[in-house]
Amino acid sequence: MSEAWRYGDIRRGPTAGTEGSVVKIGGSLLVRPGWPESIANLLADFRAPLVVVGGGGVVEGLRTIDAASHPPAALMHELAIDAMTLSARIVAAMLSLPLATTCAAASGVIVAPAWLRDRGIGQQLPTGWHVTSDSIAAAVAEATGRGLVLAKSVPPPNHGWSLEALATAGWVDAHFPRAAEAVTPIRWAAPA
């Protein structure tokens, strides 16, 4: 494992398939100095990962607009998933990784709207701010039979690490415990 990252288990167990992991990169990691090298070090620890990148500041801007004017929830949910495309493109370009737009992709950075549409998963996810890239990454892991690694700016709070406790603490979104109920293993990673 890379010395630049700390790792831990949230849920142990074998993966359902033989492919690499789904690695969810929190959008907040993209504003840290030296993030391309840091994320490259992280991804080097995994064989053929599918990478889901959170929306970061772009999605936070949408939350601000939503709070000020309350557009339709379905529209804001769709725009937030669309915004993940921007983060995905940045990570793919900076790390010279391919973009994954269909479920046939064995590795690469997932373009969330296209991948979810191709797999038919988008209609299965609830609409609202309680469903973020955390739950999308869990849905990708379940659909592909891979384990999940949640890479975030900070490690999870140290009180139990049940999925429900992590959601209550706000470390993952509120829908994550349901989205990840069949996903194994689930690990965390945070900068050292």
Q: For residue 15, what pLDDT band results from cuts at 50, 70 and 90?
A: low
pLDDT recorded at residue 2: 41
Work out whether the CA dihedral 19, 138, 4, 106 comes out positive or negative.
positive
Give the DSSP H or E segment for 144: helix 133-144
Percent of the chain with pLDDT over 90: 74
pLDDT recorded at residue 19: 62
pLDDT digits 0-9 by tens, 94-116? 999 999 988 888 899 999 988 88
pLDDT over threshold 80, residue 17: no
- Name the CA radius of gyration of the chain, rounded: 15
What's the whole-model pTM score? 0.92
Mean pLDDT, rounded, for 51-58: 94
Domains and CATH numbers, the chain: 5-191 (3.40.1160.10)
